[in-house]
Structure 1
Amino acid sequence: MRICRFDGNHIGVVEGDSVYDVTALFDLKPTWPLPQGDWIMRQLPDLLPRIRDQFRTSKAAPLQSVRLESPVANPGKIIGAPINYRAHIDEANADRDINHGKTFTSLDQYGLFIKANSALIGPSDEVQLRFDDRRNDHEVELAVIIGREARFVPRERALDHVLGYCIGLDMTVRGPEFPGFRKSLDTFAVLGPWLVTRDEIADPNDLALSIRVNGETRQDSRTSYLIFDVQKLIEYASRFYTLHPGDVIMTGTPEGVSQVNPGDVMDASIEKIGSMQVRIARDWARP
């Protein structure tokens, strides 16, 4: 099932060319203080059977007529895996604009990083570049959405904690600073176009993913080349952090990262999830 957030915080089911509004099934009035994670993602696992049974009786709208937002509104954490494809490590080590004198080796040596929640946007928003004197790159990634709290989770039970998957764009400005700083600019975490529930994807470690910029293919690979696959990433991350419903793990990007510029159009796709078109704003962000 494809779950989306649309038109100013409505929750919908996408089937074919229609979006069915199932917002009324959710409790939208949490008490303070809020539990950790995203309030809607916390409810979704228990509501999925009811949604499956009832969504076709809900009001429907043409998919092309709605504004798609990030499927997760308030993730507690957006976790990034900086070097998780061997071919990307090789290209990073060969490109000084990427490595800035570092030599990248393995993910377990460099660890994960946290991307600021304030960077989050959906596919209907525009990525806003800030630094016209620095290189800004696209990075297409499989994004994993956590559905159940996870702490010290063994690999064999890791997928039990997954709610679903979506496309992620881990935008980055190149430079010598730590990744969590350079990748946390406003609009630099794009999620969409919807969340595909875990049951729809038997093996997240064997999906084609790609991105085109202005019609030109830049990245084209498969998640089968992940160094730490999805289960290993959840196991690894949950040793350091408690993962809460709605937390996002961006699993890393393959080779082919390259510069984007104002006015560019990015078309990102992942097998069994779909595709989304995201625009780079025509104007640089200014004070």
Structure 2
Amino acid sequence: MRHARVACFGEIHDAVETGGKIQLDDGRMVERSDVTWLPPIEAATIFALGLNYADHASEISFNAPEEPLVFLKGPNALVGHEGQSRRPKDATHMHYECELAVVIGKKGRNVSRSEAYNYVAGYTVANDYVIRDYLENYYRPNLAAKNRDSLTPIGPWLVDKEGVADPMQLTLRTYVNGEQTQEGSTSDMVFDIPYLIEYLSSFMTLHENDVILTGTPKGTVHVYEGDEVITEIEGIGSLKNTVIGDAEFNR
């Protein structure tokens, strides 16, 4: 099943996809065009993986890490499907990053790889934009590069894990203004989903609605004010976002 959170009729609703339409939690059926899309969950801790695809690491002249390169993001960074992400006027290197997002379904500590999928609620699509101008270096991304307000579109759907036969065999693609610019497969992750859950839970407790952003394959390119970016993952959905500039904020 595909779940969403939307704003409609002056309220926030949990919703599901039914026959190509959206069924709100009060039973009403609406068209997709009738809603404002929100992030599909109210995220708790957000874990972001750096350099988790060897081809992307080599693309930016680095070797794949020997252990997961993880940093945290705040929920302020998330924005829903068809939302807008801000490109500061002084930025020269803003890249999209199409990523499979893993949503944790229950509390877990010291979870083994063999039990890892039992702790997954489902999957969604994320576009983990980065403004590389603000990086201290590639091995220590700082807050200004990755954790800015609205810099991480996510959604539109949370797909139950039962609806994804093998999350490690999914195709990822990105389109900028209708032109395909990126393609890869989750099979190329350096550290797969069970490994990441085992690793993270070995030193901290995972909780419901924690999110793991699992990294992006090669093919990231610059985006600019006015660009429409669609990141999509096979079987999960297509996430649309528009890049806007400081002029929208009267700055």
Task: Compute the TM-score of the two structures, normalised by the length of structure 2.
Answer: 0.91
In structure 2, C-alpha distance between the alignment counterparts of 1:107 and 1:193, rounded to whole Å: 33
Give 1:281 shift: 1.5
Out of 68, 72, 79, the position equivalent to 2:47 is 79
Bigger radius of gyration among the two:
1
Amino acid in the other structure paired with 2:16: V
> Kindly tell me: are residues 107 and 61 of structure 1, through their superposed partners in 2, closer, same or farther at Cα, counting changes over 3 Å?
farther
RMSD between superposed Cα atoms in Å = 1.6
**Equivalent residues, number:** 242
Out of 10, 31, 35, the position equivalent to 2:13 is 10
Give 1:120 shift: 1.1
Report if aligned partners of 1:143, 1:251 keep a CA contact under 8 Å in 2: yes
Give 1:111 shift: 2.4
Amino acid in the other structure paired with 1:78: I
Out of 126, 131, 135, the position equivalent to 2:93 is 135
In structure 1, C-alpha distance between the alignment counterparts of 2:222 and 2:45, rounded to whole Å: 26
Report if aligned partners of 1:14, 1:63 keep a CA contact under 8 Å in 2: no
1:227 counterpart residue number:
190
Q: Answer 1 or 2: which has greater helix percent.
A: 1
Amino acid in the other structure paired with 2:105: G
In structure 1, C-alpha distance between the alignment counterparts of 2:63 and 2:250, rounded to whole Å: 33
1:1-287 aligned at under 5 Å gives the runs 1-7=1-7, 8-22=11-25, 58-73=27-42, 75-93=43-61, 103-108=62-67, 111-175=69-133, 176-177=135-136, 178-181=140-143, 182-284=145-247
Report if aligned partners of 2:99, 2:216 keep a CA contact under 8 Å in 1: yes
Gaps of 5+ in 1: 25-57, 94-102
In structure 2, C-alpha distance between the alignment counterparts of 1:17 and 1:67, rounded to whole Å: 16
Report if aligned partners of 1:144, 1:164 keep a CA contact under 8 Å in 2: yes
Amino acid in the other structure paired with 2:227: D
In structure 2, C-alpha distance between the alignment counterparts of 1:180 and 1:120, rounded to whole Å: 17
In structure 1, C-alpha distance between the alignment counterparts of 2:147 and 2:244, rounded to whole Å: 17
Report if aligned partners of 1:17, 1:64 keep a CA contact under 8 Å in 2: no
In structure 1, C-alpha distance between the alignment counterparts of 2:147 and 2:66, rounded to whole Å: 20
- Matched residues, percent identical? 35
Report if aligned partners of 1:92, 1:104 keep a CA contact under 8 Å in 2: no
Report if aligned partners of 2:81, 2:154 keep a CA contact under 8 Å in 1: yes
In structure 2, C-alpha distance between the alignment counterparts of 1:9 and 1:195, rounded to whole Å: 16
1:39 counterpart residue number:
none
Deviations 1:78-127 (A, max 9, x none): 1111011110011011xxxxxxxxx444150x621111221111113201
Task: Compute the TM-score of the two structures, normalised by the length of structure 1.
Answer: 0.80
Question: Which segment drifts farther, 274-283 or 165-174?
Answer: 274-283
Gaps of 5+ in 2: none
In structure 1, C-alpha distance between the alignment counterparts of 2:37 and 2:66, rounded to whole Å: 33
SS of the residue 2:76 aligns to: helix
Report if aligned partners of 1:143, 1:248 keep a CA contact under 8 Å in 2: yes
Give 1:215 shift: 1.3
Report if aligned partners of 2:126, 2:239 keep a CA contact under 8 Å in 1: no
Give 1:282 shift: 4.6
Amino acid in the other structure paired with 2:188: Y
Give 1:134 shift: 2.8
Deviations 1:218-269 (A, max 9, x none): 1101111111111111111112321111111000000011111000000111
